[in-house]
Structure 1
Amino acid sequence: MIQMEDLTKVYQMGDSEVRALNGASFTIGKGEMVAIMGPSGSGKSTLMSIIGCLDVPSSGKYILDGVAVETLDEVKLAEIRGRK
């Protein structure tokens, strides 16, 4: 199961901030299929990078199979990337 709670991702671009994600919240149950759709620049790739444990959110919670991803070390994250 994938749970996202109030997920935000902010990138610093020079003197300005770019919000790629702003308060995204959803749950995807085991076996459930979803589509992530939106126009260019809407945060799809950023969201997929976070789901795939390649990037971390600026704020919010990402819970994967009952485990808060931010509590995992690099070894565990690499295991998840290889398995899930």
Structure 2
Amino acid sequence: MPQTLSPADVALESELRSLRMTLARESRVPPYIVFNDRSLAELVRLRPGTPAELEAVFGFGPTKAVRYGAAILKLLAASPR
């Protein structure tokens, strides 16, 4: 059964999608290379707060955590729960 998202989660998902587009344009890669929809859902659900926690999210490893992690973690830290 799909989990219902709170209004804060819906807002965070939208912000992460926007950030993904920005990072993709800057890196000149397709958005799914930055992170895919499964990773997006896990970011919203898990809300990692450290690079190590980010690496535990599906699709993230050390390379993506270094390349995109600061921007993602900053957005997550600023997002209300």
Larger Rg: 1
The structure richer in strand per residue is 1
Q: Give the TM-score of the pair, scaled to structure 1.
A: 0.33
The structure richer in helix per residue is 2
Q: Give the TM-score of the pair, scaled to structure 2.
A: 0.34
